[in-house]
A and B are shown apart, each in its own frame.
Chain A
Amino acid sequence: MDPARLTYMANQIARNLAPQGEAAAVDLTCQHLRDFWDPRMKAAILAGDRLGLDPIARAAVERLALPTS
């Protein structure tokens, strides 16, 4: 999967969830990726360099890397 496209998608999700407050937006963005992204998309964004990610999206991707409890 094209990393630039996935980065764009993650940033767009984060940007639209941002009005809910930063902490909630990070939670919701991470949950959104878990709920709606195919495994290869998740793997690709986790493997990417994350430089293009906005702060909320980056924090969400970092959280995505953690095992779910």
Chain B
Amino acid sequence: MGYERQADFGTPEVRSDTAVTLRIDGREATVPAGTSVMRAAAECGGSIPSLCATDSLEAFGSCRMCLVEIEGARGLPASCTTPVAQGMVVHTQSERLARVRRGVMELYISDHPLDCLTCSANNDCELQDTAAEVGLRDVRYGYAGANHLGAPTDGSNPYFDFDPSKCIVCSRCVRACDEVQGTLALTIDGRGFASVVSAGQAGDDFLSSECVSCGACVAACPTATLQEKAVKDIGKPERAVVTTCAYCGVGCTFRAELRGEQLVRMVPWKDGKANRGHSCVKGRFAWGYANHQDRILKPMIRESIEQPWREVSWEEALTYTAGKLNGIKARHGARALGGITSSRCTNEEVWLVQKLVRSGFGSNNVDTCARVCHSPTGYGLSKTYGTSAGTQDFDSVMDADVVLVIGANPTDGHPVFASRLKRRLRQGAKLIVIDPRRIDLVRSPHIEAAHHLALQPGTNVAVLTAMAHVIVTEGLADEAFIRERCDWDEYQDWARFVADERHSPERLEAVTRVPAQTLREAARLYATGGPDWASAQRNKPNAAIYYGLGVTEHSQGSSTVMAIANLAMATGNIGRAGVGVNPLRGQNNVQGSCDMGSFPHELPGYRHISNGDVRASFEADWGVALDPEPGLRINTMLDAAIDGSFRAIYIQGEDILQSDPNTHHVAAGLKAMELVIVHDLFLNETANYAHVFLPGSTFLEKTGTFTNAERRVQMVRKVMEPANGLEDWQVTQELARAMGLGWDYTDSGQIMDEIARLTPSFAGVSHARLDAEGSLQWPVNDAHPDGSPIMHVDGFVRGKGKFIVTDYVPTDEKTGPRFPLLLTTGRILSQYNVGAQTRRTANTVWHAEDLLEIHPLDAENRGIKEGAWVRLASRTGETTLRATVTDRVAPGVVYTTFHHPATQANVVTTEFSDWATNCPEYKVTAVQVLPSNGPTDWQESYASWSEKSRRIAVEPAE
């Protein structure tokens, strides 16, 4: 693809069963009823000049450029706001129209700088194009009158400039912020000639305003007013490649726009089915880490972690590593070796790492970071529904009438989905939030949750059981659905259990701290759509559940997932658009890494390793015998390392030292191993304990696929050569070959062919098909040849939906006199996971350090002021960080993020974990918070160790 703008049809697509036929400039056009004349003209190959219209926004009708003549209609109506009508005859070009349009354009240009040749939007400017289209040749008014040409540029945002001197006040930025992003940070200040675009309150600039830097306004701007700084610095891109974002599980499609191998900007792709043309600050702007000076580009080895690193050739590194691995295997057996696949790498790369572990190392000791995030989702949904994934696509939210968000903070964690959700909420859908914190969704401009259940951390199951109690005892269950789709006997067992008085909201209020009446109303709203619903036209409202790590990262994570699944079945909210159970996945390819067999007990496609037939299919294809016994999980690998029975690990793209709980334990486990291989972009925290460092490649440097939270498989395309010389799948292949395995993939498409051959749910997936169709949602096979946007449509994958009784079991992590507060952890919009990528971008301007949120009451009791240093201590460890005093958290609850290694929030978190999957209980730690005046001993000793451990030996000059 060369560089040209993505087609713009002026106004949004309209869906209608009725088709309307009209004539535009003699051409016949047939479009859905409700389509604008402007869009109809564009769809039949025409182009009506316009400035304030773009197809991501509702028609506005302000610029007066898109006027047309309609036979039989008076005057010159604006084509963007005029819907088509059957038999309408439209003329878009005439002498009269040309005169009027030129007159309008003349006014615009009379207050616009004439610096086109030196303007950064030169040749990429809709104002310039439109001036050309209308044939403007002269401005009769001159340029000496009052104007805005001297207005200063606001360069406060690190990624884009706002230059009001070039603004034509078309309101596209304001409307993008309202309609697309839903933050409403921008407005038009003043009236008439004094109208200007303004961010936030008077006195705010873009950075200090509520602007979240999603880039929607920049994408919408038709001039150079809002433009990426990179375009100003580098120039107009010359080519573009469509690819998939490597940040969160939303999986936005972007167009990488480049000059040669230099990335200029990432622009959201309107045809991306996950993001529909929207983006967030991470995917759109925070890609500077890809060429950060900290990136390691040469392989390095060292005998011991006390030594400095030594740069070596790829050949030496791989031979050394393979020799060590084979030696450990010979001495200690295959089960002493293992690996961790990366949820940031492609499906193809994950496939090869688990294949290397199973067929090369000879064990099933393979795990992935889903262990610490969504492993309970896999367990819970497979037990109840029969498949380890969410039930819907993201589009589904636009059909939801009631949305229940539990343990998720979409505006920060999954911002592009949150914008869709907020759009639906503004249209009138009802919202229930279950979260210990008052997240932004609870109340933000034009959004207010009907109910916020600010529960005590760790009581999810109690809250959901109480909701089930209300639904069952008040007769709100959808028994027709249950009889048809679920096992009726199991339902009755479950209904009897939840109906017991001890599960009533009144009885559980003491535990959950959620007022019983609020809980009852929330349950009724979820089940019935609320009291207003009866008067609505449809019989049954669509209620959808969206959840995140606030559900899974608990000692009852799996139980909570099953309780959610029960609730959706009991109310018949499965199997159609607008409903479902939707896990919001953390990392870009966490769904894919789970699909690809990254768990120690199952082969790709979620098939248990003990299944002889499945094992045989892999053994035949790979030509090796596989261990039929499940392997170790990350946490038990570390236990076994301390024990001496686990000795070597290959970690691809995962920083377990920073991301996993109880940092001391992780460090001790890694230290106990003979061989730690880290394959990553940077010397991450885990690398401080590594013996081999294999440099990795970024998502811009490789071809493969990611699978997002809606099971959507999308292409990641190489836009530049790997700076380290090899794509990550090639590194794994070379390691396998050095160990003696005869792998010979010549491109990653061949790996996908193997995935499709051996994994029934991927049978119909290939790179060629993805290139042709954009994306596919698994399962893609004979039964679902075009994929599966919504699952369990005609019945559950497992057959009958299974109700599983879950009961609240309190966590063993208890508050007490020494540790009276509960710490819960989360993330923030501008940073991602352990921050390895985002900390190496200008995103630090929004979040330079992790802060501890504490309620004013708890702060006052302890003499803690805003911004003060505090010591955060648990039974496991302690750290220091700065406090921020806020009533977002309830009294007794404190909150922080884990994006910065200097804070190391996980020094404090415990090893309590989900009973079924060992997903760590990050969300509940008993802590004490006290004023402090400096870093803890651990922080100081770790900082000095970290510096020492990252030394790279300097080659002596010859």
Q: Which residues of B contact A16 (CB under 8 A)?
A: 556, 558-559, 806-807, 809, 915-916
Q: Which residues of B contact A19 (CB under 8 A)?
A: 497, 805-807
Q: Which residues of A contact B918 (CB under 8 A)?
A: 9
Out of B335, B610, B804, name the residue touching A35 (CB < 8 Å).
B610
Q: Which residues of B contact A18 (CB under 8 A)?
A: 807
A57 to chain B, nearest CB (A): 11
- Decide yes or no whether A46 CB sits under 8 A from chain B: no
Q: Which residues of A contact B610 (CB under 8 A)?
A: 34-35
Check if A38 sits within 8 Å of B916, measured CB to CB: no
- Supposing A19-B497, A37-B630 touch, asked if A2 and B639 sit within 8 A by C-beta, the answer is yes
- Decide yes or no whether B643 CB sits under 8 A from chain A: yes
B window 315-362: CB within 8 A of A: 335
Check if A41 sits within 8 Å of B636, measured CB to CB: yes
Check if B555 sits within 8 Å of A40, measured CB to CB: no
Interface of B is mostly: loop
Against A, the Cβ 8 Å flags (1 = close, 0 = not) of B389-426 are: 00000000000000000000000000000000000000
B187 to chain A, nearest CB (A): 52
With the chains together, A19 CA to B546 CA distance in Å? 26
Check if B556 sits within 8 Å of A40, measured CB to CB: no
Q: Which residues of A contact B85 (CB under 8 A)?
A: none
With the chains together, A18 CA to B805 CA distance in Å? 9
Check if B639 sits within 8 Å of A1, measured CB to CB: yes
- Decide yes or no whether B601 CB sits under 8 A from chain A: yes
- Supposing A38-B636, A41-B636 touch, asked if A12 and B335 sit within 8 A by C-beta, the answer is no
With the chains together, A19 CA to B808 CA distance in Å? 10
- Decide yes or no whether B669 CB sits under 8 A from chain A: no
A26 to chain B, nearest CB (A): 15
B26 to chain A, nearest CB (A): 70
Q: Which residues of B contact A36 (CB under 8 A)?
A: 601, 630, 916
With the chains together, A15 CA to B806 CA distance in Å? 11
A17 to chain B, nearest CB (A): 8
With the chains together, A35 CA to B556 CA distance in Å? 19
Most buried by A among B335, B915, B916: B915
- Supposing A37-B630, A40-B640 touch, asked if A12 and B915 sit within 8 A by C-beta, the answer is yes
- Supposing A16-B556, A38-B631 touch, asked if A2 and B805 sit within 8 A by C-beta, the answer is no
With the chains together, A34 CA to B629 CA distance in Å? 9
- Specify the chain B residue showing the minimal Cβ separation from A14: B915
With the chains together, A15 CA to B810 CA distance in Å? 11
- Decide yes or no whether B864 CB sits under 8 A from chain A: no
Out of A9, A20, A32, A38, name the residue touching B632 (CB < 8 Å).
A38
- Specify the chain A residue showing the minimal Cβ separation from B558: A16
Most buried by B among A5, A19, A38: A38
With the chains together, A20 CA to B495 CA distance in Å? 13
Q: Which residues of A contact B804 (CB under 8 A)?
A: 20
Most buried by A among B555, B559, B610, B636: B636
- Decide yes or no whether B779 CB sits under 8 A from chain A: no
B window 782-829: CB within 8 A of A: 804-807, 809
Q: Which residues of A contact B497 (CB under 8 A)?
A: 19
- Specify the chain B residue showing the minimal Cβ separation from A10: B915
Against A, the Cβ 8 Å flags (1 = close, 0 = not) of B548-587 are: 0000000110110000000000000000000000000000
A window 9-56: CB within 8 A of B: 9, 12-13, 15-16, 18-20, 32, 34-41
A3 to chain B, nearest CB (A): 11
- Specify the chain B residue showing the minimal Cβ separation from A44: B643
- Specify the chain A residue showing the minimal Cβ separation from B917: A36
Given A16-B809, A20-B804, 18 other A-B contacts at CB below 8 A?
A: A9-B915, A15-B809, A15-B915, A16-B558, A16-B806, A19-B497, A19-B807, A32-B916, A35-B608, A35-B630, A36-B630, A38-B335, A38-B600, A39-B335, A39-B629, A40-B335, A40-B640, A40-B645
Q: Chain B: residues with CB nearer than 8 A to chain A?
A: 335, 365, 497, 555-556, 558-559, 600-601, 608, 610, 629-632, 636, 639-640, 643, 645, 804-807, 809, 915-916, 918
A-B contact pairs, 27 of them (CB 8 A): A1-B636, A1-B640, A1-B643, A2-B639, A9-B918, A13-B915, A15-B809, A16-B558, A16-B809, A16-B916, A18-B807, A19-B497, A19-B805, A19-B806, A20-B805, A35-B601, A37-B630, A38-B335, A38-B365, A38-B630, A38-B631, A39-B335, A39-B629, A40-B335, A40-B640, A40-B645, A41-B632
Q: Chain A: residues with CB nearer than 8 A to chain B?
A: 1-2, 5, 9, 12-13, 15-16, 18-20, 32, 34-41
- Which 8 residue pairs across A and B have the least CB separation, nearest first? A19-B807, A16-B915, A12-B915, A19-B805, A38-B632, A39-B629, A13-B915, A36-B601
